[in-house]
């Protein structure tokens, strides 16, 4: 052991290279093991009772052939002959180490970091020899100012290059500043709302989701992706569209003979008297709106018909109703009564004594 330590001290460069390579590889293995713990916990329990015929039963996640293959390992019998449950891990849940990734990380540490840090630290020691608070502070400042950006950049760019990424700088652009600051925020209250399916259990809506999920995957057109995302939305984010707004939008130049696509409801508007000939595709139309469009010689399509006629969205115009037209949005904003606020207050009554003085009349302080 003493001879190994002496050899280690007598060849600092080789020791530095070996140390950095081992450090990078070990860190990557620890990271992969930590991230894979949640996957390793998945088990399936199989419970068979005395006299039960197991040839016609299957456990969730297993085929019949897999079950027969694992019966010998998964069932244990006690002294009375009762078959007990035994946890069986799914093959897909067993975590495996990506040794190729570990090798790439170790290669980055071996090729750049070991050599750069060795010569950089020796240069710092030559320029500012010895210790002391002042000298150590200067070394730390210079290290953070020059060495840290170079080593972080070399790590991300080198790793992306070894992985064969199309843009080796993409990972560096996304992660450099966070890594350089060395600051991590708390994530216990993070909540990223991103719907991957609609909340509604309406089978017809879910059939449309299935259709447009296929189209968005197979057709390289953003139209289907937008339709799919809007099908996921809640009803408040799919507001109804009045017939008057639809007519006004379709009268714009260049929109003749195009199909208006509304992922929502189209409602009638009695304020408009004359309806032009329209070609409309919507999730739902009210009875009066449907009657008026058809009476004007228009055409109404469903989304499955639209997928047949325009699978890539050619000849269509995507429209939507006003999302902030609901009355509740009038109560959002600056606090009622404060200067330059036009937010609607929640009041018990609209009488003389309620929200009628300060902020409402110039003789009572100020008037918004």
Q: How far apart are CA 212 and CA 310, in angstroms?
A: 12
* Residue after which a domain boundary falls, among 120, 147, 181: 181
Q: Does a structural domain hold residue 260?
A: yes
pLDDT of residue 6: 73
Q: Which two tokens stand for residue 281?
A: 């595709």
- Tell me, yes or no, whether 332 lies in a domain: yes
Does the residue 74 lie in any domain?
no
Determine the length of the chain.
368
25 within a domain of the structure (yes/no): yes
Total number of domains in the chain = 3
Within 13 Å, how many C-alpha atoms sit on residue 203's CB side? 0
Same domain, 170 and 310: no
- Ordered DSSP codes for 24-57: HHHHHHHHHHHHTHHHHT-EEEE---TT--GGG-
User: Do residue 219 and residue 307 come from a single domain?
Assistant: yes
Within a domain: 246: yes
Helix (H, G, I), strand (E, B) or coil at 225: helix
Q: Write out residues in the chain with pLDDT < 50, as ranges.
A: 38, 42-80, 82-94
Residues 347-363 have pLDDT tens digits of 999 888 888 887 788 88
Separation CA 46–CA 85 (nearest Å): 5
Pairing of strands 241-242, 76-77: unpaired
* Final residue before a domain boundary, out of 149, 181, 213: 181
Question: Which residue matches tokens 């259709």?
Answer: 211
pLDDT at 88: 45
What span, in angstroms and rounded, lies between the C-alpha atoms of 71 and 46? 9
Angle at 96 between CA 92 and CA 100, to 5 degrees: 130
Asked if 297 and 230 sit in the same domain, the reply is yes
Q: Which domain holds residue 216?
A: 203-319
In this structure, the answer to whether residues 208 and 272 fall within a common structural domain is yes
Which phi and psi angles does 297 have, rounded to 5°?
90, 15
The answer to whether position 76 is within a domain reads: no
**CA-to-CA distance for 79 and 30, rounded, in angstroms?**
43
pLDDT-above-70 percentage for the chain: 82
């Amino acid at each position: 052991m003493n001879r190994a330590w002496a050899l280690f001290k007598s060849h600092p460069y080789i020791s530095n290279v070996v140390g950095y390579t081992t450090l990078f590889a070990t860190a990557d293995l620890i990271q992969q093991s930590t991230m894979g713990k949640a996957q390793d916990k998945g088990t399936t329990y199989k419970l068979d009772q005395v006299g039960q015929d197991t040839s016609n039963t299957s456990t969730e996640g297993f085929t019949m052939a897999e079950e027969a293959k694992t019966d010998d390992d998964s069932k244990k019998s006690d002294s009375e002959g009762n078959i007990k449950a035994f946890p069986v891990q799914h093959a897909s849940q067993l975590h495996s180490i990506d040794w190729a990734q570990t090798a790439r990380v170790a290669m980055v540490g071996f090729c750049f970091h070991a050599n750069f840090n060795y010569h950089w630290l020796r240069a710092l020691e030559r320029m500012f020899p010895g210790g002391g608070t002042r000298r150590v502070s200067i070394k730390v400042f210079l290290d953070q100012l020059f060495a840290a950006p170079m080593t972080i950049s070399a790590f991300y760019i080198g790793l992306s290059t070894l992985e064969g990424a199309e843009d080796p700088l993409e990972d560096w652009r996304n992660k450099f500043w966070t890594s350089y600051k060395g600051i991590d925020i708390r994530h216990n209250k993070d909540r990223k709302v991103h719907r991957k399916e609609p909340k509604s259990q309406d089978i017809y809506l879910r059939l449309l989701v299935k259709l447009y999920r296929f189209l968005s995957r197979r057709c390289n057109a953003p139209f289907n992706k937008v339709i799919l995302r809007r099908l996921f939305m809640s009803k408040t984010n799919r507001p109804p569209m009045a017939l008057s707004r639809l007519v006004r939008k379709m009268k714009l130049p260049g929109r003749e003979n195009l199909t208006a696509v509304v992922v929502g409801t189209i409602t009638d508007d009695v304020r408009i008297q004359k309806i032009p000939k329209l070609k409309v595709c919507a999730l739902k139309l009210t009875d009066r709106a449907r009657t008026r469009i058809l009476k004007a010689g228009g055409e109404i399509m469903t989304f499955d018909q639209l997928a047949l006629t325009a699978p890539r969205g050619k000849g269509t115009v995507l429209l939507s109703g006003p999302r902030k037209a609901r009355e509740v949005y009038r109560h959002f904003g600056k606090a009622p009564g404060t200067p330059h606020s036009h937010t609607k207050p929640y009041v018990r009554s609209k009488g003389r004594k309620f929200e009628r003085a300060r902020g409402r009349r110039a003789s009572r302080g100020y008037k918004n």
